[in-house]
Amino acid sequence: MPNASAIRSETPDELALRDVIDPEIGVNIVDLGLVYRIERTEERIVVTMTMTSPACPMAGVVIDDVQATLGDATSDALPVDVDLVWEPPWAPKMMSDAAREQMGWPIA
């Protein structure tokens, strides 16, 4: 049975964020399960996300990439805010089957 994320349609913002690659892991942040929510209003885009670890040395790079990618993907030039959260903590079970396969891990 396919998981829910495999059968729902992705928003344009989610599709754009697939271009943001975690530089340490080499997998996009959507498939890694790092993006928890994307809220778009008339004034801004807010991405609520996490990192694989609170000590992630590349967090600044990933956040900059998220802001640049969504900023470039929107014709309305909305500011992009990234809300970095630690609850719920990231765990490997949050990865998509595609990410698990890319990393050579068994598919759940």
Cis upstream peptide for 88 (omega within 30°) = yes
Render pLDDT for 1-33 as a digit per residue (tens, 0 to 9): 344 445 567 899 999 999 999 999 999 999 999
**Domains of the chain (ranges plus CATH)?**
10-89 (3.30.300.130)
Render pLDDT for 54-92 as a digit per residue (tens, 0 to 9): 999 999 999 999 999 998 877 778 899 999 999 999 999
What is the band of 108 on the pLDDT scale with cuts at 50, 70, 90?
low
Give pTM, 2 decimals. Answer: 0.86
Q: How many residues does the chain have?
A: 108
| Angstrom distances, CA of residue 4 to CA of 9, 36, 39, 43, 68 | 10, 14, 20, 30, 28
